[in-house]
Amino acid sequence: TVYHLPEDFYFGGATAAYQVEGATKEDGKGEVIWDKYLHEQGTINPDPAADFYHRYPTDLDLCKKFHINAIRVSIDWARIFPEGTGKLEPRGVAYYHKLFKKCHEDGVEPFVTLHHFDTPQALQDKGGWLSEEMLDAFVDYAKFCFKEFGDEVKYWITINEPTSMAGQQYVSGTFPPAYTNEFAKCFQAEYNQNLVHARIVNAFKAGGYDGKIGVVHALQTVYPASPSEGDKHAAALKDALENRFYLDGTLAGHYSDETLALVQEIIEANDQQMIEIKPEDEEVLTKAAKSLDFVGVNYYFSKFMKEHHGENVFHHNGGGEKGTDVNKMKGVGEEVHPTDLPATDWDWIIYPKGMYDQLKRVHDNYPDVPEIYITENGMGYKDKFLGPDKAIDDAPRIQYLKAHILEVAKAIQDGIPVKGYFVWSLQDQFSWTNGYSKRYGLFYVDFETQARYPKQSAYWYRGLADSKQIS
Ligand code: BGP
């Protein structure tokens, strides 16, 4: 069967400020949580990343040449307010004006995220997502951006993947400030993120801006590893932790009793105290959910859960040593790898059907959300440079993208309102916990010279954008 993607579909490429810009100390930019953390670890340097701060015109020209008509970028909060709040840095503001101008000159629609993992250090010092000061400052910064860039930006995203952030900051410890097994704090951070997202959506709507606003969630589709009751329950717990708490908070504006019971079970199994759900907060959530314009779905892999009654055991496969990833979560379950499913070198299980199932679930359970975008999907791969005149052969990536976009096309045919798709990533970039060897780009970046080379996948993607047909 040949599936058709809509005429007005966005074929995008995704980036995030800290992963591409480099220039972490330039033009008055303030410190973000990654600067100190990475410096102390001493293994990966976020500078110059893909040097997007200086080379954005090159990358946008590539978008144009390859018929990529949308780009996800994020604003680095600390470029604008180096301390998170207070003093404004005009050079940072000027940079984003230049960037958006170039996007429009090239016919590339910018989808702009306000927070993509890069909390200003000054606000982390005050408690990060757990502090009222940070939440208030985030609302102020968002309002500033709407006012300042409102004529140039039509698609706003409040927060990128709150779930990965809270989980990695408080449970697995793979994101700064790297706490482990703090489940109650993790859910408190998630609760606060949902709430501040809603406050920002409400402020945007009250401001009467011309444009759309949404949130981006990392949605791993979770399945039980076997039909046993224990495994099914482990899958429900994992889904509550990684997906449902956020979906309820941002898309329904109300936490269902079932979701809260699962959350409470996880927190109490870890001998911690359940968080407080305040009725007055739910009013704010509901108002925002009702006027939300879209949800962004980042889908990379699915998870298969087995019941687990022991302690927490984590091993993060950040180096691409296949088969080394371990994730056994106390009070939740164990992630297992079904032997018949392929995985990337970083142990991310490749399961395209999970894309369809997740889209269907979002649409069925939260039917009021008017639009869905796939804001990230892609494959980490150890691409090999073949010389300046040869397109890099990334056949496995093409296969991955094709299989996933096919599921998106099926979803659209079934009436699910997916309006665009963004490949993670546009060009090779800095990966938070994996450095530079985990490449995702349509364009290969030689990090020594910063030269760009199109991969085979870039040509394939251009063909798809032109034909809008997939089979
Ligand atoms: C998402 C993030 C991106 C990006 C991507 C790939 O979670 O929004 O910023 O990094 O995943 O992840 P990784 O770099 O860990 O492979």
| Confidence (pLDDT) at 19 | 98
Which residue's CA is minimally distant from atom 4 of ligand 1?
431
| CB of residue 16 inside a 6 A radius of ligand 1 | yes
- pLDDT tier at 321, thresholds 50, 70, 90: very high
Q: Quick one: three-class SS letters along 173-222?
A: CCCCCCCCCCHHHHHHHHHHHHHHHHHHHHHHHHCCCCCEEEEEEECCEE
Q: How many helices (H) and strands (E) does the chain have?
A: 16, 17
| CB of residue 212 inside a 6 A radius of ligand 1 | no
The ligand 1 atom at the shortest distance from the C-alpha of residue 431 is 14
Q: How far is the CA of 19 from the centre of ligand 1 (A)?
A: 9
* Helix (H/G/I), strand (E/B), else coil: 356: helix
Strand partners, 10: 420
DSSP code at position 66: T
Q: How far is the CA of 276 from the centre of ligand 1 (A)?
A: 30
Q: How far is the CA of 431 from the centre of ligand 1 (A)?
A: 6
- Domain limits, the chain: 3-470
**Best mutation site among 38, 424, 429 for ligand 1 pocket (most ligand atoms within 8 Å of CB):** 424
- pLDDT tier at 448, thresholds 50, 70, 90: very high
Strand partners, 333: 329
| CB of residue 301 inside a 6 A radius of ligand 1 | no
Average pLDDT of the chain is 97
Query: Phi and psi dihedrals of 36, rounded to 5?
Result: -65, -45
Give pLDDT tens digits for 372-387.
999 999 999 999 998 8
- Positions marked active-site: 161, 376
| Confidence (pLDDT) at 180 | 94
The ligand 1 atom at the shortest distance from the C-alpha of residue 160 is 8
Give pLDDT tens digits for 211-242.
999 999 999 999 999 999 999 999 999 999 99
Q: Which CATH class is domain 3-470?
A: alpha beta
Give ipTM to 2 decimals: 0.98
Residues contacting 188, CB < 8 A, separation 6+? 129, 130, 275
